[in-house]
Amino acid sequence: MTVKTLEIPTVDGVADGFAAFPGGGGRHPGVLMYPDGFGIRPVLREMAEELAGHGYYVLVPNVFYRHGPAPVAELPEFVGAQDRERVMGAVMPLIQAHSLERVLRDAEGYLGFLSAQAEVAAGPLGVTGYCIGGLYAVRTAAAHPGRVGALAAFHGPVGVDGPRLFETVTAQVHLGHAEGDLTPDALGELNRGLDAAGVAYTSEIYPGTVHGFTMADTETFSAAGLKLHWERLLPLLERTLNGG
């Protein structure tokens, strides 16, 4: 396994970040992984390395680079209930400042950088994201239908832009929702929008989960939810990026 610290050029500057990919040479399908609102930290590196171990080049940018290098906010090793209000107070202004326009300008740079790496194979790219990163992933796939072949978002506010956002998505999609984030009625409304857009998708509520369930360094972590996330994400990437 190779992990490299990177500087990723964008229209507005240079984003710090890292990539994880298999060692030993060769070229691998590229995946852009958007972090949750807490940003790059050890648990994101572990998840990127896990995904890279299945044969992918995984690029993880610091989406809040305009405010400084990662970690932009001071985080404890474990974000417990007693820490959440303080941590959210630190990261929420960053999230609020990261407008749709910024997401789209940065996405162009991230995808271009990813495609240009010598270790990345030609062909469609995957985009995945967690929490607010799930929304960034959806926006990226919608803006680049010819380049993104797989889209996955987990416990993210993916419906905030309305169902019309999915009308330009050509990627195959998986949306994994936290039980605490979405009611069955809201899920039905979102899925009807996906149906109307003609998207090939799966969209489901993960049983017994709350927001943030994939993140092992928070009190909302669910081992079963993380396992189900891998069981959905890996086959999606295999059939879309590896010709499966």
* Domain boundaries of the chain, sorted by first residue: 2-241
Q: What is the pLDDT of residues 45-70, one digit of tens each?
A: 999 999 999 999 999 999 999 999 99
Q: Is 72 exposed, middle or buried (0-12, 13-18, 19+ CB in 10 A)?
A: buried
Q: What is the pLDDT of residues 97-122, one digit of tens each?
A: 999 999 999 999 999 999 999 999 99
State mean pLDDT over 180-197.
91
pTM for this predicted structure: 0.97
The rounded distance, in Å, linking the Cα atoms of 152 and 154 is: 7
Q: Is the pLDDT of residue 169 over 70?
A: yes
The rounded distance, in Å, linking the Cα atoms of 46 and 50 is: 6
SS3 (DSSP) at 136: helix
State mean pLDDT over 193-202.
95
Q: Is the pLDDT of residue 243 over 70?
A: no
pLDDT band at 80 (very low <50, low <70, confident <90, very high): very high
Q: What is the pLDDT of residues 5-21, one digit of tens each?
A: 999 999 999 999 999 99
Contact 110, 14 (CB under 8 A): no
Residue 177 neighbours by CB under 8 Å, 6+ apart: 155, 187, 203, 204, 205, 206
pLDDT band at 180 (very low <50, low <70, confident <90, very high): confident
- CATH architecture observed for domain 2-241: 3-Layer(aba) Sandwich (3.40)
Q: Is the pLDDT of residue 244 over 80?
A: no
Q: Is the pLDDT of residue 44 over 80?
A: yes
Higher pLDDT, 139 or 242: 139
Residue type present at position 158: V
If you average pLDDT over every residue of the chain, what do you get?
A: 95
Tokens matching residue 87: 């941590």
Q: Is the pLDDT of residue 208 over 70?
A: yes
